[in-house]
Amino acid sequence: MKTLVIGSGGREHVLCWSLASSPDIERLYCAPGNAGIAAAAECVAFDVMDFDGILAFCAENSIGFAVIGPEAPLVGGLADRLEAAGIAAFGPSAGAARLEGSKGFMKDLCARAGVPTAGYGRFTSLDAAERFIQSRGAPLVIKADGLAAGKGVIIAETVEQAAAAARAMFAGQFGAAGSEVVVEEFLPGEEASYLALVDGENILPLETAQDHKAVGEGDSGPNTGGMGAYSPAPVMTPELCEMARGDIVAPLVRAMAADGAPFKGVFYAGLMISDGAPKLLEVNVRFGDPECQAILPRLKSDLFTALRAARDGRLSEIELEWHDQAALCVVMASKGYPGAYEKGSVIRGIEAAERETGATVFHAGTSLAGAEVTATGGRVLGVTALGDDIASAQAKAYQAVARIDWPGGFYRRDIGWRAVKG
Ligand code: AMP
Ligand code: GLY
């Protein structure tokens, strides 16, 4: 079957890399892709929000299946448009993607479905938000309601910081995403990412992962889309996985189906583990990035078969097999990220890194300028290695990182520290 992956990040590179080995894919395209994806799929230059262009391409090229990577086209309704045109799409409808597209919607659904999460208030005016902040006291977490590429969340240590964050959001710091603001109780603990394929009803968990959201070592500095990840996440014991499935994902999947917006796709539960139980921090409606760069290289089963089954409502027929090895991904980002950064710097040594260490370098924000790979994004490369345990995957990933010659980039040197320290 001819298949199209939509997106241009590290997530879409690992998706294409994994799908490329499927015997059922006759031809693989990616829109728009990047310099690394071009080795696994034919890149076609459509923006992910150019729904008309993507639909026309699918019709002209007899695309039978589309895999939508990022959240913005999902929240915008690309899966609905493709399905209406007769093209099977992996990813939730716009109605189901509201779980990520509106944090307030997600919190209200948790309250209704009895899902453990932080206490919260939803606000459309600064006055009301400030009153709530004063009455609750710090620490608090202030969140823009809509999509903000992982950056619309401020942890406030004081009431003054919380009020300033709310003020900045209502003043347009995150554009329309901040016209509504959610104020949450601060939850202490250790985070983990729990991802599952969902077909509207059935839940098929993937292997666990842990992300590193903060830009700096020791988890310091502002949040990013994710600076590195590893899988499995030892904090997610089998008991905690069962709680995440039964107490968090299942009630929300049932509630969405009962509300007429059944969830199909990847259900990503961002969890905070404290006192031996998980609480839901966020829902993402797609593969986490960089988490999937650590999870998918461990998958033995055919990814295409699993994604098709999720789309078709047949997940109960599928069992996934995994490699025992652990995987760890180090993100290399442009200097300045998550703030302003320069584009166009040249990256060398990627092939040597892969050849000499056996690691895989997934591209997240690259282009080709002649024969040179250049950096065109904030997060630029995801250097991923497999190892017998997380410590060995970590050592191999950093060996590969050391081979990459990119003066315009930086990376965290401590990816995996929680799992390796003991
Ligand atoms: P979110 O996009 O909602 O997951 O928030 C991004 C990051 O902010 C999370 O990965 C956590 O590190 C942190 N965070 C969000 N909500 C809370 C909370 N209620 N308590 C503590 N940390 C939080
Ligand atoms: N790594 C976090 C995310 O994909 O949202």
Q: Which of 106, 219, 285, 289 to mutate to test the pocket of ligand 2 (most atoms within 8 A of CB)?
A: 289
- Please return the burial class of 380, using the count of CB atoms within 10 Å of its CB with bins 0-12, 13-18 and 19+: buried
Report residue 421's pLDDT band, with 50, 70 and 90 as the boundaries. Answer: confident
Q: Enumerate residues lining ligand 2, CB below 6 A.
A: 150, 211, 225-226, 284, 288-289, 291
Q: Express each pLDDT in 349-403 by its tens digit.
A: 999 999 989 899 999 999 999 999 999 999 999 999 999 999 999 999 999 999 9
Q: What is the pLDDT of residue 223?
A: 85
Please, how many CA atoms are within 13 Å of residue 272, restricted to the half-sphere of its CB? 13
Q: Is residue 422 predicted with pLDDT exceeding 70?
A: no
Q: Express each pLDDT in 155-214 by its tens digit.
A: 999 999 999 999 999 999 988 888 899 999 999 999 999 999 999 999 999 999 999 999
Only one residue has tokens 């260490």, namely: 357
Supply 330's token pair.
């180090």
Going by C-alpha positions, the residue among 362, 200, 373 that lies closest to residue 296 is 362
Identify the residue with better confidence: 245 or 371: 245
| Contact (Cβ atoms closer than 8 angstroms) between residue 217 and residue 193 | no
Buried b (16+ CB within 10 A) or exposed e, 365-374: bbbeeeeebb
* Mean pLDDT value of segment 52-71: 98
* Mean pLDDT value of segment 36-53: 97
223 Cβ closer than 6 Å to some ligand 1 atom: yes
Dist. CA 354 → ligand 1 center (Å): 34
Q: What is the pLDDT of residue 396?
A: 97
Q: Is residue 150 predicted with pLDDT exceeding 80?
A: no
Which domains, ranges and CATH numbers included, belong to the chain? 2-91 (3.40.50.20), 119-185 (3.30.1490.20), 190-317 (3.30.470.20), 326-420 (3.90.600.10)
Q: What is the pLDDT of residue 148?
A: 87
Q: What is the pLDDT of residue 152?
A: 87
CA-only gyration radius of the chain, Å = 20
153 Cβ closer than 6 Å to some ligand 1 atom: yes
* Mean pLDDT value of segment 39-59: 98
- Backbone phi, psi, residue 118, to 5°: -70, 145
Dist. CA 184 → ligand 1 center (Å): 9
Going by C-alpha positions, the residue among 23, 20, 61, 24 that lies closest to residue 38 is 20
Report residue 227's pLDDT band, with 50, 70 and 90 as the boundaries. Answer: very high
Q: Express each pLDDT in 318-350 by its tens digit.
A: 999 999 999 999 999 999 999 999 999 999 999
Percentage, residues of the chain above pLDDT 90: 93
Q: Express each pLDDT in 246-303 by its tens digit.
A: 999 999 999 999 999 999 999 999 999 989 999 999 999 999 999 999 999 999 999 9
Q: Which atom of ligand 1 is nearest to the CA of 118?
A: 19
Q: Is residue 48 predicted with pLDDT exceeding 70?
A: yes
Q: Express each pLDDT in 80-106 by its tens digit.
A: 999 999 999 999 999 999 999 999 999
Strands lying side by side in the sheet with 65-68: 42-43, 27-32, 2-7, 65-68, 88-90
